[in-house]
Amino acid sequence: MTERSLQITFRKGRAFAAYLHLAHPPGARSVRTEASADGLFVVDYGADGRPIGIEITAPEAVNRERLNAVLESLGEPPLPELEFRPLTAA
């Protein structure tokens, strides 16, 4: 089982995009994506229909409360401040 982790991509010293990998079985691949209404998130779903990751398209525009609302809607536990901190430092 892959654990949850946050990956941030930088361009010219600024956070360009981020991806929150959600816990999922090894080898799980995205078979479907769904964008949020505001366009800030794109959720990837595996073949079993469970979410496997969340692309954060505009890291500078996202706060922890908004991300946690998305996680809650997916039945995922909230992201603690410590895990969100790299995104705010970017």
Three-state DSSP string of 16-44: EEEEEECCECCCCCCCEEEECCCCCEEEE
Share of the chain above pLDDT 70, in %: 98
Write the pLDDT tens digit of every residue in 5-42.
Answer: 999 998 888 888 999 999 998 889 999 999 998 999 99
**27 is written with which tokens?**
């080898």
Is the CATH code 3.40.50 the one for domain 5-80?
A: no
- Euclidean distance between CA atoms 10 and 28, whole angstroms: 25
pLDDT at 62 over 70: yes
Q: Is the pTM of this model over 0.85?
A: yes
Structural domain boundaries in the chain: 5-80
